[in-house]
Structure 1
Amino acid sequence: MARRYISEPIVEYQMEKPYAAIAFETVDVEWEEAAALIPEIVEWLQKRKLKAEGMPLYRYWCSSGGDEAFTLEIGVPVDRMAAGDERVVVSTIPGGSYLKAIHRGHPDNLPESHEALVQWAQAEGLEFDKRWEEEYEIWNGRFEIFLTDPEIEPDPEKWEIEILLLLVRYEAA
Structure 2
Amino acid sequence: MATQPRIVERPEQPFVGVRGKVTWTTFGQLADRLPEIVGWLAERGVAPADGPFFKYDVIDPSDQERDFEVVAGVPVDERVRLDGTGGTDLFAGTLPGGRYVALTHVGHPDELAGVARTALKWAHAKGLELDMTQSAAGEVWGCRLESYKTDPRREPDLHKWETELAFRLRD
Please tell me the residue identity of whatever aligns with 2:55. Answer: R
From 139, 142, 146, the counterpart of 1:140: 142
When normalised by structure 2's length, the TM-score is: 0.88
Q: Is the 8 A contact 2:5 2:101 kept in 1?
A: yes
Aligned residue among 13, 16, 28 for 2:24:
28
Counterparts of 1:17-166 in structure 2, within 5 Å, are 17-28=13-24, 33-65=29-61, 66=63, 67-84=65-82, 86-166=88-168
- Aligned partner of 2:12 in structure 1 is 16
SS state of the match for residue 122, structure 2? Answer: helix
Confirm or deny: 8 A CA contact 2:58 2:137 kept in the other structure: no
Separation (CA, whole Å) in 2 of partners of 1:148 and 1:110: 15
Alpha-carbon distance in 1 for matches of 2:94, 2:25: 22
CA distance in structure 1 between the aligned counterparts of 2:23 and 2:128, rounded to whole angstroms: 28
Aligned-pair CA distance for 1:23: 1.3
- Deviations 1:129-169, CA, capped at 9 Å, x for gaps: 01223343210110011111111110101111000100010
Which string of whole-angstrom CA distances, capped at 9 and with x for unpartnered residues, describes residues 18-54 of structure 1?
Answer: 0111111111066654442122102222344433211
Q: Give percent identity, aligned residues only.
A: 32
**Partner Cα distance (2:25, 2:104) in 1:** 19
Q: Over the residues paired in the alignment, what is the CA RMSD in angstroms?
A: 1.8
Q: 1:60 to 1:12 in 2, by over 3 A?
A: same
How far, CA to CA, are the matches of 1:12 and 1:125 in structure 2? Answer: 16
Q: Structure 1 stretches of 5 or more lacking a match?
A: none
Letter in 2 for 1:70: F
Q: What CA distance in whole angstroms lies between the structure 2 residues aligned with 1:122 and 1:29? A: 29
Matched residue count: 165
- Cα distance in 1 for residues equivalent to 2:100 and 2:147: 13
Q: Any conservation in 2 of the 1:31–1:107 contact (CA below 8 Å)?
A: no
